[in-house]
Amino acid sequence: MPSKQTSNESLLTILLWTWPLGYQFPLNRCPNSEGLGCFYTINRSMYHMANAVVISHRDVAKSEKLLPPEPRPPNQYWIWSSMESPTNCPNLSMMDNKINLTMSYRIDSDIYTPNVRLEKVNSKEQFTIPQKSKLVAWVVSNWKARYRRSKYYEELKKFLPIDVYGKYALPLPRNQTLQTLSTYKFYLAFENSIHEDYITEKFWTNSIMAGTVPVAMGPARKNYQRFIPPDAFIHVDDFLTPQQLAEYLLSLDKDEAKYQQYFSWRSRYRPVWSSGFLSAYCKICGALKEAPAYRTIPSIAEWFK
């Protein structure tokens, strides 16, 4: 709750127009004083006194009627928020000339909200590679034969065994995901759409957090290298064909020393998982205080493509 020494009138009021994707979290409980000087609310009756309104795109995308009403209070910031890729953000054009700040996984967002960040560690800290007994795993529920990742998998499986988990394959209880995937040497971190900076839990959770080596399919290798050392992962674009990739993975399976080199970066960095929407939304307070001169973004769709 706001400090007793600070009245609500002196705080910046940040209104969540909806709970993002229906996920609820404690408001005004930001760690490390991130939310100091701001008051968060979900109460729409405070719309006309709010300094900023956070709009979760997927929750309003069906209709402009779901957006906050116009005219808005003078100089009120509308903050557009999405952790989905452009492919999964319909009707972006309805945000034209309405949004003042952006919040997303894109590193050039006004409010950058990554799922995972790397922090430097003491060189004496040791990372223990989980014991491996299997070769390649893939978790997929959104199966569409036309997707590039589906076609690539169909070719790759001709040359090496792949255990597939998910809705239409092997069962994988949520509370056993990391434990199960950690027993594999490689994980197919194949994104369902290819966009700048769109690197999801497929890479970070199912691979990095599980302690296996990600085989990435997503944006270009150099894009991944903005977030993680180049020797931490394998990228499908490094190989001319799925067969070449399969041959490389099989060679690593027989060369333990070479395989373990993919974990050498762990002596320098460790992945730190954000606390989801709470962590992301707590960043809004500081960003609002330091926001540049009030401006409106002509087209979210043009930027977020």
* 301 close to 94: Cβ distance less than 8 angstroms: no
In the residue annotation, 119 being an active-site residue is answered as no
Out of 9, 70, 84, 191, the active site residue is: 84
Whether the pLDDT of residue 141 is over 50: the answer is yes
Where residue 8 falls among pLDDT bands split at 50, 70, 90?
low
Long-range contacts of 60-69 (CB under 8 A, 24+ apart): 60/17, 60/18, 61/89, 61/90, 61/91, 61/94, 62/91, 64/94, 67/17, 67/94, 67/98, 68/17
pLDDT of 9 over the 90 cut: no
Residue 102 pLDDT:
97
Looking at the predicted structure, is the pLDDT value of residue 39 above 50? yes
Angle between helices 242-254 and 148-156 (to 10 degrees): 50
pLDDT at 64 over 90: yes
The overall average pLDDT reported for the chain is 93
Across the range 42-56, mean pLDDT stands at 98
- Average pLDDT estimate for 129-140: 96
Check if the beta carbon of residue 87 is closer than 8 Å to that of residue 193. yes
Mean pLDDT for the stretch of residues 261-290: 91
Q: List, for residues 95-113, the tens digit of each pLDDT value.
A: 999 999 999 999 999 999 9
Q: Exposed e or buried b for every residue in 189-207, given b needs 16+ CB within 10 A?
A: bbbbeebbbbbbbbbbbbb
Residue 1: pLDDT over 60: no
Res. 291: pLDDT tops 80? yes
pLDDT given for residue 123 in this prediction: 65
Concatenated DSSP letters for the chain? ---TTS-GGGSEEEEESS-GGG----TT--GGGTTTTEEEE--GGGGGG-SEEEEEHHHHTT-GGGSPPSSPPTTPEEEEEE-S-GGG---GGGGTTTBSEEEESSTTSSEE--SEEEEE--TT--PPPPP--EEEEEE-SS--TTSHHHHHHHHHTTTS--EEESTTSB---GGGHHHHHTTEEEEEEE-SS--TT---HHHIIIIIITTSEEEEESS-HHHHTTTS-GGG-EEGGGSSSHHHHHHHHHHHHH-HHHHHGGGGGGGTEEEEE--HHHHHHHHHHHHHHT--S---BS-HHHH--
Average pLDDT over residues 38-46: 97
Count Cβ neighbours within 10 Å for each residue of 118-136 and write b for 16 or more, e otherwise.
Answer: beeeeeeeeeebbebeebb
In this predicted structure, which of 5-9, 54-58, 60-64, 247-251 has the lowest mean pLDDT? 5-9
Mean pLDDT of 219-235: 97
Selection from 128, 156, 163, 168 nearest residue 250 by Cα: 156
155: pLDDT strictly greater than 60: yes
